[in-house]
């Protein structure tokens, strides 16, 4: 772990009007790591990962992806090529087939041919278990299938890190498993990722580190074993009691 971190956040602050979404957040993510962000809603988890690919502009501090500072300007496209994102509400392009949803980025951004990008897209769809849906349109798919297309679309850009923003929160309960299985396989395959999720069992299984946030601040960073069974942080304890005992 002596290598330079893939993501470096230093004293990052973000306000929405009067609301302090992030306060002085510092965090390093290393290649190959699976980091899960936990915390009550409104604690700044989503804002944190959205600052990494600049879907939110932070007000103070620094965020680096590799050597590139995340900021408005010509470097931003490079940052976004290196960071894939999977959204809570999938955000697939309804006007494109499933296959072209996945192939579009490589064609436009990496200047690949449609033929080559579609071949690669088929492989990715196979990898997330929906190769047989390639010619359909997003609206014809179930939520779980749509989210797996979302994952394939993010993977197609061969990013150095995947950002998951509550990937299963909009799914019917019976579809959560299929999406978590795909994410789990990626995690075990060495894909670097940051996950915001409310699936505690899943977090415990896949995470290398748990980052607990509350009120815009990082309150604790721990390995999952320590965090779930013996955290000494009072707020983390209260959070776990609330979500695990119901």
Partner 1 sequence: MDLASTFFNLDVLARSWPLLLDGLGRTILLGALSIVLGLVGGLFLALIRLYAPQPFRFLAIAYIDVFRALPVLVWLVIVYYAFPFLGLRLSPFASACLALSTVSAAYTAEIYRAGIQAIPLGQFEAAYSIGLNAFDRMRDVILPQAIRIVIPPLTNNSINVMKDTALASVVALPDLLKQATQAQALAANPSPLIGAAVLYLLLLLPLVRLVAVYEERFRRKGAR
Residues of this chain that bind partner 1 (CB under 8 A): 53-55, 77-78, 80-81, 83-85, 87, 89, 91-96, 104-105, 108-109, 153-154, 156-157
Q: Least distance (Å) from partner 1 to the CB of residue 3?
A: 24
Contact predicate 84/161, CB 8 Å: yes
Q: Least distance (Å) from partner 1 to the CB of residue 229?
A: 35
Alpha helices in 109-223 (DSSP H): 114-127, 143-156, 173-188, 200-206
H-helix or E-strand containing 218?
Answer: strand 217-222
Q: Least distance (Å) from partner 1 to the CB of residue 219?
A: 28
Order across the sheet with 19-29: list the strands: 19-29, 7-16, 60-65, 68-69
Give the nearer residue to partner 1 in terms of CB position, either 44 or 224: 44
Give the nearer residue to partner 1 in terms of CB position, either 45 or 153: 153
Q: Least distance (Å) from partner 1 to the CB of residue 191?
A: 16
- Cα 62 from chain centroid? 19
Give the nearer residue to partner 1 in terms of CB position, either 155 or 236: 155
Contact predicate 114/107, CB 8 Å: yes
Q: Least distance (Å) from partner 1 to the CB of residue 96?
A: 8
Give the nearer residue to partner 1 in terms of CB position, either 157 or 218: 157
Give the nearer residue to partner 1 in terms of CB position, either 192 or 231: 192
Contact predicate 115/97, CB 8 Å: no
Angle between helix axes 173-188 and 143-156 (nearest 10 degrees) is 20
């Amino acid at each position: 772990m002596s290598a330079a971190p893939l993501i470096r956040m230093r004293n990052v602050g973000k306000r929405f009007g009067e609301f302090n979404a992030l306060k002085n957040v510092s965090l390093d993510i290393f290649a190959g790591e699976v980091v899960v962000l936990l915390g009550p809603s409104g604690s700044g988890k989503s804002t944190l990962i959205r600052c990494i690919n600049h879907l939110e502009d932070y007000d103070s501090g620094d965020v680096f992806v590799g050597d590139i500072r995340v900021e408005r300007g010509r470097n931003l496209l490079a940052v976004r090529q290196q960071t894939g994102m999977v959204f809570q509400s999938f955000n697939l392009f309804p006007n494109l087939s499933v296959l072209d949803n996945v192939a579009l980025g490589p064609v436009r951004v990496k200047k690949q041919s449609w033929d080559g990008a579609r071949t690669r897209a088929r492989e990715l769809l196979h990898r997330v278990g929906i190769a047989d849906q390639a010619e359909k349109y997003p609206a014809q798919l179930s939520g779980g299938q749509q989210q797996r297309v979302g994952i394939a679309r993010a993977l197609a850009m061969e990013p150095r890190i995947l950002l998951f923003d509550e990937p299963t929160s909009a799914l019917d309960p019976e579809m959560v498993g299929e999406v978590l299985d795909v994410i789990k396989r990626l995690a075990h395959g060495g894909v670097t990722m940051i996950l915001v999720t409310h699936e505690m069992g899943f977090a415990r299984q896949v995470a290398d580190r748990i980052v607990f946030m509350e009120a815009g601040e990082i309150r604790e960073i721990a390995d999952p074993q320590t965090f779930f069974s013996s955290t000494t942080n009072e707020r983390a304890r209260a959070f776990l009691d609330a979500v695990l005992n119901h």
